[in-house]
């Protein structure tokens, strides 16, 4: 079974440009999460989709970040315009259950390493 896949694995862009990250969750997983790790810091929550709906976007840094999950399958995270502080590793995770999902493991993708120069 395919795991969570993320594309691209690496991206180097100039400040002010736009980048779109993609996440394909495990098939059948309703929950999809985006997390980010900036250098030297812990992994931090960005947002959570249940199917195509945003359940929680409290971790989104600002309005330069836009996440979508059309059709409840794959998700995209767009950064426009990118700033230097957006550099980091962006992880996507998915899990199977909805509410009361305490016992459901979240599987992570290998991440997209974003460098803004």
Partner 1 sequence: RKEVEQDPGPFNVPEGATVAFNCTYSNSASQSFFWYRQDCRKEPKLLMSVYSSGNEDGRFTAQLNRASQYISLLIRDSKLSDSATYLCVGETDSWGKLQFGAGTQVVVTP
Q: Which residues bind partner 1 (CB under 8 A)?
A: 4, 31, 33, 35, 41-45, 48, 50, 55-56, 91, 93, 95, 97-106, 108-111
- Provide φ and ψ at 27, rounded to 5°: -55, 130
Please report the DSSP string for 45-92 in residue order. Answer: EEEEEETTEEEE-TT--STTEEEE-GGGS-EEEEESS--GGG-EEEEE
Q: How far is the CB of 12 from partner 1 (least distance, A)?
A: 16
Q: How far is the CB of 57 from partner 1 (least distance, A)?
A: 11
Is the Cβ of residue 32 or residue 116 nearer to partner 1 in the bound state? 32
């Amino acid at each position: 079974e395919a795991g969570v896949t993320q594309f691209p694995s690496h991206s180097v862009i100039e400040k002010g440009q736009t980048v779109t990250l993609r996440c394909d969750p495990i098939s059948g997983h309703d929950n999809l999460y985006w997390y980010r790790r900036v250098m030297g810091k812990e992994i931090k929550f960005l947002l959570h989709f249940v199917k195509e709906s945003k359940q929680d976007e409290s971790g989104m840094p600002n309005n330069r970040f836009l996440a979508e999950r059309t059709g409840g399958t794959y998700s995209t995270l767009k950064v426009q315009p990118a700033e230097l502080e957006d550099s980091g590793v962006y992880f996507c995770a998915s899990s199977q259950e909805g509410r009361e999902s305490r016992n459901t493991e979240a599987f992570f993708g290998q991440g997209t390493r974003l460098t803004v120069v």
